[in-house]
């Protein structure tokens, strides 16, 4: 659970301070490795706490490049409450109708489903409402109501007169009311694009776009698959709202941590107390709703972290006048033998360069937002299949050795910072031991290994072109360094190996 760490770390705890400025070393002391090295992992007889001998907190401050780079580590160290950690073989669950039905039934047990294409087609009444609204904007002198901005010649990207004219033309052929086409969530559904002579039949071979009508409200429900190309699949659920002043405005859910931890000269974010004002459900009730849905999947997912979330409309910074609603955001991760897969911002599955021909496989993820009227938003990515233990009671490196790797690799990985920024200060606030999945995309992009890793979480202050932005990292889920707890190799979380 996410909590504010307000205790001052005692000086008696393990402290290692690097004094003065140091030159950046030319070579890293470790190299990145993938899943291929896991076959050589050793087993151990001792317990985790004895093997790693980690302190309750870790402090270190280092300055490099004449003060351009500062790494300030003042972090709580978190270990799972288990005696041993195994490594596990994992693979991607097969993307089939059984998987689709499992997720569908977990969230929409008694729902009726309709095709999105006809369900969201604008009616004559909706067109008229939009035309009236745009003409009102124009009469008020607001020719860029959605803040699209101007091009290099000073011309508005958004031409309000053209949009009004197009709406008036399309309104003539628009239906009087929404046409509902009942469907079953599945791939391969047909739909018709275009109108009249330009219409043609289309098939969503690897996707589903629907609307679920429930007693708790209506939801957009999308299932997106990479087909035979990749194992990646995403389930996305979004509650359809009727409280947005202008349906054409940009809307989104924003995590509270970005508002509580971040500030710059012209923007101070929001406090936790301010965020709470927009939440009209207790934490306990929200957690119960989220757990009941996820438990139906039967995938051993548990809540590893949580945050506030606010629903905003319009462009620009998140301010009180742009917030329409609030709720709790729950981060679920798989727990294997009492050890969780660490929850980070990274989605994995990246490519080393734009010319890569590899087909990536992203991480398993699950996020659920709950408000006072139930589920608001859900995103589920790439559920794993646990295929068995590879190494029992894996032998782990001691924490001091891991800390030395972290200290040098933070320096090495930020060696070019002075080329782009005047100054950067990292704030590392939490260090955790948990699982991460690694794989070898060049060999197999649908299977990998769960290995124990150390993640170093936090934020940073940065000064660019005279502008200072701060993020204290207090509630962060951004890991700035991930180190394999067994062999000390650095894992690139964006790549997944």
Tell me the pLDDT tens digit for each residue of 289-342. Answer: 999 999 999 999 999 999 999 999 998 889 999 999 999 999 999 999 999 999
448 with 470, same domain: the answer is yes
Q: Which residues of 325-356 are buried (b: 16+ CB within 10 A; e: fewer)?
A: bbbbbbbbbbbbeebbbbbbebbbbbeeeeee
Residue 13 inside a domain? The answer is no
Q: What pLDDT is attached to residue 266?
A: 87
Residue 406 inside a domain? The answer is yes
Residue 16 inside a domain? The answer is no
382 with 241, same domain: the answer is yes
In angstroms, the CA 166 to CA 160 distance is 10
Residue 2 inside a domain? The answer is no
pLDDT digits (tens, 9 = 90+) for 214-245: 999 999 999 999 887 788 999 999 999 999 99
- Give the DSSP H or E segment for 302: strand 301-313
Q: Which residues of 379-390 are buried (b: 16+ CB within 10 A; e: fewer)?
A: ebbbbbeeeeeb
Residue 289 inside a domain? The answer is yes
Domain boundary among 361, 387, 413: 387
pLDDT digits (tens, 9 = 90+) for 350-400: 988 888 888 999 999 999 999 999 999 999 999 999 999 999 999 999 999
| Cα–chain center distance at 272 | 21
Average pLDDT, integer, range 416-439: 96
Q: How confident is the model at residue 26 (pLDDT cuts 50, 70, 90)?
A: very low
298 with 157, same domain: the answer is no
- Give the DSSP H or E segment for 305: strand 301-313
In angstroms, the CA 435 to CA 79 distance is 11
Q: Which residues pair with 357 in a beta bridge?
A: none
* 100: three-class secondary structure by DSSP: helix
286 with 304, same domain: the answer is yes
In angstroms, the CA 469 to CA 489 distance is 31
114 with 40, same domain: the answer is no
pTM for this model (two decimals): 0.91
Q: What pLDDT is attached to residue 354?
A: 86
In angstroms, the CA 134 to CA 248 distance is 10
157 with 256, same domain: the answer is no
Q: What pLDDT is attached to residue 33?
A: 53
Residue 12 inside a domain? The answer is no
DSSP string of 23-64? Answer: PPPSS-SS----GGGGGGPPB-SS-HHHHH---SEEEEEEEE
211 with 352, same domain: the answer is yes
83 with 106, same domain: the answer is no
Average pLDDT, integer, range 418-441: 96
Q: Which two tokens stand for residue 290?
A: 């989220």
Q: Indicate the DSSP class of residue 453.
A: E
Contact in structure between 136 and 164 (CB atoms under 8 Å): no
Residue where the block lists tokens 């699982």: 435
Q: What is the number of domains present in the chain?
A: 3
Phi, psi values for residue 75, rounded to 5°: -125, 145
Give whole-number Cα distances, 198 to 166, 172, 175, 176, 370, in Å: 17, 17, 18, 21, 42
103 with 59, same domain: the answer is no
Q: Which domain holds residue 71?
A: 21-87+390-484
Residue 327 inside a domain? The answer is yes
Residue 31 inside a domain? The answer is yes
Phi, psi values for residue 426, rounded to 5°: -80, 140
333 with 348, same domain: the answer is yes
pLDDT digits (tens, 9 = 90+) for 141-189: 999 999 999 999 999 999 999 999 999 999 999 999 998 999 999 999 9
332 with 344, same domain: the answer is yes
Dihedral sign, Cα of residue 400, residue 489, residue 353, residue 25: positive
- φ/ψ region of 141 (left if φ > 0, alpha if ψ in -120 to 50, else beta) reads left
């Amino acid at each position: 659970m996410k909590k504010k760490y307000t205790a001052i770390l005692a000086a008696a705890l393990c402290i290692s301070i690097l004094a003065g400025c140091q030159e950046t070393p030319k070579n890293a002391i470790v190299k990145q490795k993938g899943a291929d090295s896991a076959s050589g992992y050793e087993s151990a007889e001792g317990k985790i706490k004895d093997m790693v001998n980690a302190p309750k907190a870790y402090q270190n401050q280092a300055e490099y490049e004449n003060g351009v780079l500062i790494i300030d580590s003042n972090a709580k160290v978190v270990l799972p409450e288990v005696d041993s950690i195994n490594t596990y073989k994992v693979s991607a669950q097969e993307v089939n109708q059984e998987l689709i039905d499992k997720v569908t039934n977990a969230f929409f047990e008694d729902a009726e489903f309709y095709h999105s294409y006809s369900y969201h087609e604008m009616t004559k009444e909706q067109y008229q409402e939009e035309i009236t609204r745009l003409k009102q904007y124009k009469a008020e002198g607001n020719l860029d109501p959605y803040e699209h901005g101007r091009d290099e010649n000073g011309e508005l990207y958004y031409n309000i007169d053209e949009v009004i004219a197009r709406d008036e033309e399309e309104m003539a052929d628009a239906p009087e009311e929404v046409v509902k086409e009942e469907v079953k969530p599945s791939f391969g559904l047909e739909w018709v694009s275009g109108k009249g002579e330009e219409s043609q039949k289309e098939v969503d071979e690897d996707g589903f776009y629907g609307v679920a009508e429930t007693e708790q409200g209506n939801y957009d429900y999308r299932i997106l698959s990479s087909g035979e190309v990749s194992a990646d699949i995403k389930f996305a659920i979004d509650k359809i709202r009727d409280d947005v002043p202008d349906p054409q405005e940009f809307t989104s859910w924003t995590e509270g941590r970005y508002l509580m931890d971040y500030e710059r000269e012209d923007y101070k974010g929001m406090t936790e107390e301010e965020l709470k004002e927009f939440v009209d459900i207790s934490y306990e009730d929200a957690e119960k709703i989220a757990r009941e849905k996820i438990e139906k999947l039967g995938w051993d997912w548990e809540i590893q972290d949580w945050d506030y979330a606010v629903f905003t409309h319009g462009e620009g910074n998140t301010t009180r006048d742009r917030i329409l609603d609030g709720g709790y955001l729950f981060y679920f991760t798989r727990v294997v033998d009492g050890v969780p897969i660490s929850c980070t911002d990274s989605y994995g599955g990246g490519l080393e360069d734009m010319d890569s021909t590899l087909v990536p496989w992203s991480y398993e993820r699950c996020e659920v937002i709950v408000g006072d009227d139930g589920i608001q938003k859900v995103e589920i990515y790439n559920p794993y299949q646990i295929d068995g233990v590879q190494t029992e009671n894996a032998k782990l490196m001691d924490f001091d050795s891991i800390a030395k790797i972290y200290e040098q690799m933070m320096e090495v990985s930020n060696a070019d910072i002075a080329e782009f920024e005047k100054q950067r200060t990292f704030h590392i606030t939490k260090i955790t031991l948990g699982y991460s999945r690694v794989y070898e995309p060049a060999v197999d992009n649908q299977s990998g290994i769960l290995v124990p890793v150390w993640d170093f979480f936090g934020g940073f202050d940065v000064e660019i072109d005279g502008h200072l932005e701060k993020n204290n990292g207090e509630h962060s889920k951004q890991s700035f360094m991930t180190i394999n707890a067994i062999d000390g190799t650095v894992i690139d979380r964006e790549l997944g190996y």
